[in-house]
Amino acid sequence: MNDNLRENAERGAFSGKIGYVLATAGSAVGLGNIWRFPYLAARYGGGIFLLVYLVLALTFGYTLMMSESTMGRLTGKSPVGAFSALSKRGIAKAGGWINAVIPMLILPYYSVIGGWVCKYLFEYLRGNVAGTAQDDFFGGFITSAADAELWFIVFAALTLVVIVAGVENGVEKVSKIMMPILVLLAMIVAVYSMTRPGAAAGIKYFLVPDFSHFSWMTVVAALGQMFYSLSIAMGILITYGSYMKKDVDIEKATHQVIFFDSGIAVLAGLMIIPAVFAFSGGDPSMLNKGPGLMFVTIPKVFESMGLGQAVGILFFVLVLFAALTSAISLAETCASTFQDELGMGRTKATGLVAIIMVVLGSLSSLGYSGLSFVRIFGMEILDFFDFLTNSLMMPVAAFATCIFVVKAVGLDNISKEVKLSSKFRFEGMYRVFIRSVAPIFVVVILLSSILSVLGILNI
Ligand code: PHE
CA end-to-end span of the chain: 44
Domain count of the chain? 1
Task: Judge whether 230 and 57 are in contact, CB under 8 Å.
Answer: yes
Burial grade of 449 (CB within 10 A; 0-12, 13-18, 19 or more): buried
Which conformational region is residue 457 in: left (phi greater than 0), alpha (psi within -120 to 50 degrees), or beta? beta
234 lines ligand 1 (CB under 6 A): yes
326 lines ligand 1 (CB under 6 A): yes
Q: Using one digit for the tens of pLDDT, what is the confidence trace for 302-356?
A: 888 777 788 889 889 889 988 988 898 888 888 878 887 888 888 898 899 999 9
Asked if residue 350 is part of any domain, the answer here is yes
- What letter would DSSP give residue 458? -
Asked if residue 3 is part of any domain, the answer here is no
Burial grade of 355 (CB within 10 A; 0-12, 13-18, 19 or more): exposed
Asked if residue 10 is part of any domain, the answer here is no
**Which of 231, 266, 330 gets mutated to test ligand 1 (max ligand atoms within 8 A of its CB)?**
231
* Cβ count near 148 (within 10 Å): 24
* Cβ count near 298 (within 10 Å): 27
Task: Judge whether 16 and 248 are in contact, CB under 8 Å.
Answer: yes
Tell me, in angstroms, the distance from the centre of ligand 1 to residue 58's CA.
18
CA distance 204 to 213: 13
Asked if residue 11 is part of any domain, the answer here is no
Percent of the chain with pLDDT over 90: 46
pLDDT > 70? residue 157: yes
Of 231-235, 362-366, 403-407, give the lowest mean pLDDT range: 231-235
Per the prediction, the chain carries an average pLDDT of: 87
329 lines ligand 1 (CB under 6 A): yes
Number of H helices, E strands in the chain: 25, 0
Task: Judge whether 322 and 35 are in contact, CB under 8 Å.
Answer: no
Tell which atom from ligand 1 comes closest to the C-alpha of 236: 11
User: What is the model's pLDDT at position 169?
Assistant: 56
The CATH number linked to 410 is: 1.10.4160
Asked if residue 88 is part of any domain, the answer here is yes
**Which of 35, 37, 326, 333 gets mutated to test ligand 1 (max ligand atoms within 8 A of its CB)?**
326
Tell which atom from ligand 1 comes closest to the C-alpha of 333: 11
Burial grade of 197 (CB within 10 A; 0-12, 13-18, 19 or more): exposed
236 lines ligand 1 (CB under 6 A): yes
Asked if residue 9 is part of any domain, the answer here is no
Measuring CA to CA, how many Å separate 87 from each of 82, 149, 247? 9, 43, 26
Tell me, in angstroms, the distance from the centre of ligand 1 to residue 196's CA.
31
Of residues 18 and 229, the one with the higher pLDDT is: 229
Range of the domain at 94: 19-453
Of residues 6, 1, 14, 13, the one with CA closest to residue 253:
14
